[in-house]
Chain A
Amino acid sequence: MTLLQAAVPSVATASPEPAKPKRTWPIPVRIAAGFLLLTAASAILAPLLAPYEPDAIDLNASLAPPDGAHVLGTDQSGRDLLSRVLHGAGPSLVAPLALLALASVIGIALGTLAAWHGGWVDAFVSRVTDVMFAFPGLLFVILIVSVFGDGLTTAVVALALAYSPVVAKYTRSIALAERAKPYIDAYRVQGMGGFAICVRRLVPNLAPSLIGYLVLMFGQVLMGMATLSYLGFGAQPPSSEWGLMVKEGQAALVRGALWPALVPGTAIALVVVAFNVVGVRISDRLGVRER
């Protein structure tokens, strides 16, 4: 490309440079990104935005349909669903974020270690992750929760452990390719230690790929957290975490009241869709996603 540009006659250089193609994001991606920003803002500003306290019960307004007083209706305890879904955005988004951060730290460390050392270390880490892959993830999480007790923190740690082999596998595969590049040998020749090369050069160079991959994973992780809460292993009452809200709202279905389950269910679905749409775009831009 450089050579070609160099061969262009001077006349051409005198003419104005061709305008760079605009890097515009498609409308669905903009909408999804806007929705995610809105959701994040709602989570932060919930105490200001929510018309009611999320735990304020009004038994006489049990299962009230959407109206002026309760825009999205109420649940069986008469709690305002809009307020709960707004307050629930916090734990519903922060827990998967924390989970992903923890899974990333463990997974990236293990994956890099395996790729860098090779040999028996690689074999050991790979076999351990293979075993963890072979073990049903949900069962593994339930086992951990059974031993250490339920609650959001335990669920986050348990799911992080379950997801870390996924991150480790991916990290190992891209780290192996990166490790073979000449600049790594150059740092070695300069006398830089293996740990320093990994921390200061290798992993930072893997970051774009990893970020794209993790953004794509976020929706899946959010669903995982919601599932755990739905099963009773994650957030506990009276939390307004969305998975728990779906569980609590399920009981109203037999009474013909769909909104207590559908409002948080819709929130989960929309956030997962938005993350997938944005994640696909980011991955494409970073060249992560396989086509």
Chain B
Amino acid sequence: MSRTRTRTFAALGLAALLGLSTACSDKTAGGNPAAGTPGKPADLALTDTTAKGTGPVDSVRWLLAKEPKSLDLDVRSDSDSNALLANVCERLFQTQPDLSMRPHLADSATYTDPTTLVLKLRAGVTFHDGSPMTADDVVWSLRRHAAEGRNESDEFERVSTIERTGDTEVTVRLKEPDALFTKALAGNAGVVLDREQAEPAGKDYGTPGRTDACTGPYTLKEWKAGSRITLERYDAYWDKSRKPLVRSATFGWADENAMVNSMTTGAADGTYLTTMSAVPPLAGNGALTVSYGSSSRAWTLIPTERGGMKDPRVRRALSLALDRQGIAKAAFAGLATPWKTPLGPGAWGYEKATFQAGYDALQGAPAQPTAADLDAAKKLVTELGPAAPTLVIANDGTPTRNLIANAVVDAAHRIGLKAQIKTMSGADFTSLYTDQALRKSVDMFADDWYISKADPAGFYDNALTGSNNNWVGFSSPEYDSVVNEALRTTDDAARARLLVEAERRFTADAVWLPLVQVPNVLVTSTKLTGAPASMCNVAYPWLADLGAKG
């Protein structure tokens, strides 16, 4: 038989198979999520953590969305590296499953005056090489985080000096009061590294083949680049009250399809999902438990320097025309909520009622545009006249961003704006945060943002005049004044009121264009339980809570 004929038969067979599969495919996949799948997030039961694990587990296989680029959080951090290293590296403060924060490696933190913070360090803390944590390690670590170009340097913008003022005492002096600084110490800005381990490694720290320099309940056993990362329980962990039940955890990574297959076939034991479209097939599987937790994660459109979004009228018009309800349904399997701010309610760590009332009063970001919204948007575009730009939205080809890009183009067209999609590689897309030249080739890109601090003040400083992330060049003296005042205000109630005002101004000018808010999703085998479901998993040692179901 000739090769051509073989190909023909193969293709005919494929076509027949495709037709058969189409006929047999799930007819309910679209409009109505299949039985067993959850409803809208508003109907989901959010839980901080799952039932306590009671039995020991020798090893678990855990999935990440992608392989971390680095295990040095000062160099690069994302959801995956944070979730992994949360079990290895500890902070001066620690985020709890209910998203509150409390001192951890610091025994206490006291403001002796509004600009002087004294950290008393916990006694008996040891690194994984057995050496004790010292005040010098803490000072060195904080200075490392604060160095220019480091990931967390923005958390130290108000810091004047960091000094060792005793054997177990570190004093941080601020240029002005900073209500967020202690909260930042619960995030990556508060990680304490063993100077003797990390400093000699230099740029190689956090790369494959290197050990960690941390204090957490798990230690980095192996990073086999491109294949897996293995963590092992650190049996000499300093906190003897904590007894992790899982001895070893192997982390792999998989795209959405592979993740669903791995979880449903039992090839993996658990994952924190970063995409919602994988939830329905997993939630319907009897061998898996899907839990939903509170999150500050929200998807937003982030305008850049290119210029198309410079005029607030363009941003406002586009915001009015976006079909957030449709995006929530189509891109997030109905598991997301149309949202009016760039932060989910997981960021409301205090004064929830004040933040909720402020949120409810916000205008300009409808769930679904009404005729009046569209008319108002068209009016704004008409005001632009010939200056109306052709908008370019970046897309990395992933399903969620692809759909959002389509929705943005559609919204723009509906109000008379021209818009097009620019597809770029995943690496280029990631580089949008660091490469200004690349950013200048697009007007906006969609991404999900969250803050590790349960305080909206941690986000709104991004829109201050001249802020590193204020690429669109938004500048408002009134906004700056309100946010700066909030950052100086240590009284929670007063700060919440100021932040609600900042939020109103931010939304009114559509500095960023919020889209939807998504819950944190934990998926585990039914044999496992104990891990927190809230998004504390990016900073809390969740693996130490995991165990076998009793």
Contact = CB atoms under 8 A, between A and B. Distances in A.
A254 B281 contact: yes
A232 B424 CA distance: 9
Contacts of A216: 4
A247 B30 CA distance: 18
A39 to B, nearest CB: 14
Contact of B8 (A57, A59, A63, A276): A276
B27 interface: yes
Interface residues of A, number: 52
Contacts of B256: 251, 254
Contacts of A255: 26, 29, 277, 280-281, 333
Contact of B257 (A56, A63, A253, A273): A253
Given A254-B278, A290-B2, 7 more contacts: A60-B325, A62-B329, A63-B29, A219-B7, A256-B26, A263-B22, A276-B7
B257 A254 contact: yes
24 contacts: A59-B329, A60-B326, A60-B329, A62-B31, A62-B330, A64-B30, A76-B330, A78-B326, A216-B4, A237-B402, A237-B421, A254-B260, A255-B26, A258-B21, A258-B22, A258-B24, A258-B25, A266-B22, A269-B18, A270-B15, A272-B7, A273-B8, A276-B4, A289-B2
B395 interface: yes
Q: List 9 tightest A-B contacts by C-beta distance, closest first.
A: A59-B326, A63-B30, A256-B26, A251-B399, A62-B330, A258-B25, A257-B29, A269-B15, A256-B29
A278 B64 CA distance: 48
Contacts of B19: 262, 266
Interface in A154-188: none
A59 B327 contact: yes
B280 A256 contact: yes
Contacts of A250: 257
Interface in A227-284: 232, 236-238, 247-248, 250-259, 262-263, 265-266, 269-270, 272-273, 276-277, 279-280
Interface string A38-66: 00000000000000000111111111110
B407 A262 contact: no
Q: How large is the interface on B (under 10, 10 to 19, 20 to 34, 35 or more residues)?
A: 35 or more
Nearest to B411: A57
A121 B358 CA distance: 79
B34 interface: yes
Contact of A262 (B2, B25, B395): B25
Contact of A266 (B18, B25, B26): B18
A153 interface: no
A76 B25 contact: no
Given A77-B407, A236-B423, A255-B277, A262 B18 contact: yes
B431 to A, nearest CB: 15
B30 A59 contact: no
A77 B8 CA distance: 33
A83 interface: no
A62 B326 contact: yes
Nearest to B11: A273
Interface string B292-307: 0000000000000000
B405 A237 contact: yes
Given A62-B329, A253-B257, A256-B34, A238 B409 contact: yes
A254 B14 contact: no
A76 B26 CA distance: 14
Interface in B382-416: 395, 397, 399, 402-403, 405-407, 409-410
